[in-house]
Amino acid sequence: MTIGSVPVRFGISVDHSRCMLCGRCVENCPYDVFRKEGDTIHVNSRKCVACHRCIAMCPRDAISIREHPVDYRSHPVWTQEAREAIYNQARTGKIILAGMGNAKPYPIIFDSLVLDACQVTNPSIDPLREPMELRTYIGKKPKRLEFVKDGDSLSLATPLAPNLMLETPIMVGHMSYGAISLNAQKSIAMAVREAGTFMGTGEGGLHPSLYPYQDHMIVQVASGRFGVNIDYLERGAAIEIKIGQGAKPGIGGHLPGEKVCEDVSCTRMIPVGSDAISPAPHHDIYSIEDLKQLVRSLKEATEWKKPVFVKIAAVHNVAAIAAGIARSSADAVVIDGFRGGTGAAPRVFRDHVGIPIEAAVASVDAKLRSQGIRNEVSIIASGGIRESADVAKAIALGADAVYIGTAALVAMGCRVCGTCYRGLCPWGIATQRPDLVARLDPEIAARNVANLIHAWTLELSELMGAAGINSIESLRGNRDRLRGYLLDESIMRVLDVKPVGA
C-alpha cells in the first residue's frame, strides 16, 4: 500500500429523484461503472473514462459526471498528470499507453491565424449565385505542357500521371480495420463515396464487405505489410506507404491480440489472437533510395495506373524529407502533424515528439517551391484538423487537401475520451467486440460523416467566396490571405505570414 489509491478522475452521480431505473446505463457502460441493486443504481466512479455513453443514453438526464471531484494538492510543476504517470510507472515499470492525439496544452497555431475577406476594392463572390470550385486533383502535375497542332485544333502531347479527383479537398485518413470496427469503416466508406472523396484503409487490409467502395479507398502499405497482396493493391484507387504517423513518429504500430478476431485475422493475414506488431522502420527502407525502390515497385506491380502516396510524421526536418520524397516518383506526400490521433500510442511519444502541422505544411511547401518541384507531389495535411477554418488555413499555407480522422469519428459519436487502446469503445467505433460494434448503425453513421464533409465544404465555399476566390487553386499557398494574430515573429517567418494589421 505504498502508493494507495489516487484521486478518482471522474465523479459520477445519479439523481435518484430523476432515475427511473431503466438500466440503460448498466447495459451501455462497457467499463462496468454502473450496477443495479434493488431499487438503486450504484456507481463505481473509479472505472469511468468519461465516454459519455451513459449520459447520451439516459432518458431522464439523471446522470452527471464531474472531472476531478477530488483534486490533488495544486502545484504548478507537479501537475496531476505528472504525478499520476509516476504512480502508474512506479507500479508497473512499463511504458504508458494513451489514445487519440497530443494532449499537452501547446498553443494551436491555427487559432492564431485569421482569414481574409473582400471589402470594396474587390467584390466577394456569392457561392449561392456563382460557381465555386473545390475540385482537387491529388497526384503529380506536369511542370509544363507540350501540344501538337493539328490544323486549327491543339492536342495535348504531355502525358499526365494518374491523379485522384476529389470533389472536396477533405479526405478521411487511415484508420485500420482492427483499430476501428468494420461498421465504422463501412460508415466512412459510404460517406466518402457520397461526398466524392477518398478514405484510407490503414494497415489492416481491405475487408471484402468494403469492396463495393474500393474506388474510394487508398490502400496502405505500412511496415508490418499486414493485409498486403496484389489483389489488395489493385483494388485501391491509390496506394499509400506509411513511414510514420503524427501521434507516434519514429515507432511502429501495435494491435493487441485481443482485437484480432477471426475477421480481422483474415483481413490482416495473421493468426487469430496474435499481436500485430508493425516494426518501427520498414525493413526494406533504410534510406531515401530504398523508398524510391518501393514506390516504383508498387507502381510496377499496379502497371503505373495508381498514384502512390508517402505518409510521414511531421518532424523537425520534414521539409527536406518531403523534398526527398518528391524526387522518389511518389505522387503525394502526406504530412501528419503532432496532433494526429491514434488508437494507441506511448504517451511520451504522443505528447512530446513531432511538430505541428501548420509549420510543417508551410515549410514543406516553401522547400518544394524553392527547389522547383512543387508540381512533383501533392501535399496532404493531417493531424488536428477540427473544422472547416482549419482546412482553409491548411490549404492557404500550401496543402492540396487534408485528411481528417478524429473529426470523422466524432461525427459518429466519439466523445474523445482517449481510451481507444482498451478496445471497449462504447460507441462501437474503436472496438471489435460484436455487441459494441453492433451499436454503430453504418447507415446513420455514414449520413453523419457525409453531413460533416458536406457542411465543411459549404463553409469552405463561403470562406473562399468572401475572399473573392472561386477556385481552390487560388487559395492554395495564398498566405497573403492569412494574418498571424499574436504569433511570435519567428513562427510567422516560418509560416511566411504577416501579422494582423500589416
Partner 1 sequence: MDRSGHLMDGAKIRSALSMMDERGSGEGAGYAVYGAFPEFADHYAIHVFFDAVHETKGLVDCELEKWGTIVHDEEVPTFENRNIRKVHTPWRYFYRPDPSLMPRSTTPEDDIVMHLVMKINTTIPGALVYSSGKNIGIFKASGWPEDVADFYRIQDYKGYTWLAHNRYPTNTPGWWGGAHPFNLLGWSVIHNGEITSYGTNRRYIESYGYKCTMYTDTEVVAYLFDLLVRRHGLSPEVAVKALAPPFWDEIDRMQEREQALYRAIRLAYGSAMMNGPFAIVVAQPESIVGFTDRIKLRPLVCGTSGSRLYISSEEAAIRIMEPDLEEVFMPRAGEPVIGRLGE
155 scored as a contact of partner 1 (CB under 8 A): yes
142 scored as a contact of partner 1 (CB under 8 A): yes
- Range list of β-strands (E), 272-405: 276-278, 308-313, 332-336, 345-346, 378-382, 401-404
131 scored as a contact of partner 1 (CB under 8 A): yes
Cα 446 to Cα 465: distance, rounded to the nearest angstrom: 28
- Which part of the chain contacts partner 1 (CB under 8 A), choosing from 125-133, 227-235, 308-316, 381-389? 125-133
- Which part of the chain contacts partner 1 (CB under 8 A), choosing from 30-38, 205-213, 237-245, 365-373? 365-373
Q: Which three cell numbers stand for residue 316?
A: 523537425
Closest approach of Cβ 318 to partner 1, in Å? 18
**Strand pairing report for 238-242 and 308-313:** parallel
Cα 67 to Cα 9: distance, rounded to the nearest angstrom: 6
80 scored as a contact of partner 1 (CB under 8 A): no
125 scored as a contact of partner 1 (CB under 8 A): yes
Give the residue from 412, 390, 400 showing the smallest Cα distance to 456: 390
Closest approach of Cβ 329 to partner 1, in Å? 17
Burial annotation 150-175 (CB, 10 A radius, 16+ → b, else e): eeeeeeeeeeeebbbebebbbbbbbb
Let me know if 222 is exposed, middle or buried by CB neighbors in 10 A (0-12, 13-18, 19+): buried
127 scored as a contact of partner 1 (CB under 8 A): no
Select from 16, 66, 135, 493 the one that contacts partner 1 (CB under 8 A).
Answer: 135
Q: At what angle do helices 318-326 and 357-370 cross, to 10 degrees?
A: 50
CB-nearer residue toward partner 1: 166 or 437: 166
CB-nearer residue toward partner 1: 448 or 470: 470
Closest approach of Cβ 404 to partner 1, in Å? 23
Give the Å distances, CA to CA, from 474 to 139, 204, 377, 465: 18, 37, 18, 11
CB-nearer residue toward partner 1: 130 or 303: 130
Alpha helices in 130-273 (DSSP H): 182-195, 230-235, 262-268
CA–chain centroid gap for 386, Å, is: 10
SS3 471: strand
By residue count, the chain amounts to 502
**Strand pairing report for 378-382 and 401-404:** parallel
Closest approach of Cβ 149 to partner 1, in Å? 9
- Which part of the chain contacts partner 1 (CB under 8 A), choosing from 15-23, 134-142, 178-186, 328-336? 134-142
Q: What is the DSSP letter of 430?
A: S
Closest approach of Cβ 300 to partner 1, in Å? 24
Give the residue from 342, 324, 341 showing the smallest Cα distance to 333: 324
- What would the x/- binding string for partner 1 be over residues 454 to 483, using CB under 8 A? -------------xxxxx-xxxxxxxxx--
152 scored as a contact of partner 1 (CB under 8 A): no
Q: Which three cell numbers stand for residue 468?
A: 473573392
Is residue 333 within 8 A of residue 310, CB to CB? The reply is yes
Which residues, 416 to 445, sit near partner 1 by CB under 8 A? Answer: none
Cα 350 to Cα 342: distance, rounded to the nearest angstrom: 9
CB-nearer residue toward partner 1: 38 or 372: 372
Cα 310 to Cα 324: distance, rounded to the nearest angstrom: 11
Q: Which three cell numbers stand for residue 164?
A: 485522384
Is residue 20 within 8 A of residue 59, CB to CB? The reply is yes
Closest approach of Cβ 500 to partner 1, in Å? 16
CB-nearer residue toward partner 1: 142 or 434: 142
Is residue 217 within 8 A of residue 474, CB to CB? The reply is no
- Which part of the chain contacts partner 1 (CB under 8 A), choosing from 122-130, 179-187, 220-228, 422-430? 122-130
156 scored as a contact of partner 1 (CB under 8 A): yes
CB-nearer residue toward partner 1: 436 or 469: 469
CB-nearer residue toward partner 1: 142 or 208: 142
500 scored as a contact of partner 1 (CB under 8 A): no
- Which part of the chain contacts partner 1 (CB under 8 A), choosing from 43-51, 69-77, 130-138, 279-287? 130-138
Closest approach of Cβ 477 to partner 1, in Å? 5
Select from 37, 61, 71, 130 the one that contacts partner 1 (CB under 8 A).
Answer: 130
Size of the site for partner 1 (CB under 8 A): 45
154 scored as a contact of partner 1 (CB under 8 A): yes
Which residues, 366 to 385, sit near partner 1 by CB under 8 A? Answer: 369-370, 372, 374-375
Closest approach of Cβ 394 to partner 1, in Å? 14
CA–chain centroid gap for 39, Å, is: 44
Which residues, 99 to 118, sit near partner 1 by CB under 8 A? Answer: 118
CB-nearer residue toward partner 1: 53 or 140: 140
Residues 6+ apart with CB under 8 A from 391: 169, 170, 385, 402, 456, 460
CB-nearer residue toward partner 1: 116 or 263: 116
Which residues of this protein are in contact with partner 1, per CB under 8 A?
Answer: 118, 121-123, 125, 130-131, 133, 135, 137, 141-147, 153-156, 158, 160, 163, 365, 369-370, 372, 374-375, 396, 467-471, 473-481
